[in-house]
Amino acid sequence: MSAKLQIFMAIVIAHWAEHLSQVYQIYALGWAPHAAGGMLGYLFPWLAHSEVLHFSYAVVMMIGLVSLRGELCLAASGWWTATTVLQGWHLVEHTLLQVQALTHPFFGRDVPTSIIQLWYPRVELHLFYNTIVTLPMAIALWREMRKEADSLAPSNPQVTSW
């Protein structure tokens, strides 16, 4: 696995840590959702409330998915494409949230609201988005690592007898 792909995956894991800490803050510690900002949001509340943190992540994620696509084997590329399409929608939602944070909330709401958030709570919705983006990415990475492992295996293994 390339160094670029390893760095990208470290960013993905850090983002998951943010979301999981936010869920912990809400459900284990009993914090109100608007007060639960994850690890970085706890230290720098303006990051979570300004939409900068998650919008920036969505942009970095999209750039990473598009730029790393050519590094994957054919068996992984379909799953990577699925991840990219799903992340494209996630980026649309975060762009909408960022625009609202910079201007004013839409949809008659008091806070920035994404389209699907009109029906589902934000924290749970974004966990869902991150899950459906991560699952095909994990399959793509598994297929890529399997291909790499197969290429390192001897083509004609020797069978030894006792």
Q: Residue 158: pLDDT above 70?
A: no
- Mean pLDDT score across all residues of the chain: 90
In a domain, 159, yes or no: no
Residue 2, pLDDT score:
87
User: Does residue 116 form part of some domain?
Assistant: yes
Domain that holds residue 19: 3-149
What is the pLDDT at residue 32?
93
Distance CA 86, CA 126 (A): 12
Percent of the chain with pLDDT over 70: 94
Which pair of structure tokens corresponds to residue 93? 């939602």
Under the banding of pLDDT at 50, 70 and 90, the label for residue 162 is: low
Residue 76 lies in a domain: yes
162 in any annotated domain? no
What does the pLDDT look like over 76-93, one tens digit per residue? Answer: 899 999 999 999 999 999
**Confidence (pLDDT) at 92:** 96
Residues contacting residue 105 through CB under 8 Å, at least 6 positions apart: 111, 112, 113
What total of structural domains would you count in the chain?
1
* Per-residue confidence (pLDDT) for residue 161, from 0 to 100: 58
Residue 157 has pLDDT above 80, yes or no: no
Phi-psi region for residue 109, left (φ > 0), alpha (ψ -120 to 50) or beta?
Answer: beta
In a domain, 74, yes or no: yes
For residue 160, tell me if it sits in a domain: no
The reply to whether 154 falls in a domain is no
pLDDT digits (tens, 9 = 90+) for 56-72: 999 999 999 999 998 88
The per-residue pLDDT for range 135-150, each reduced to its tens digit, is 999 999 999 988 877 7
Count of CB atoms situated within 10 Å of the CB of 140 = 25
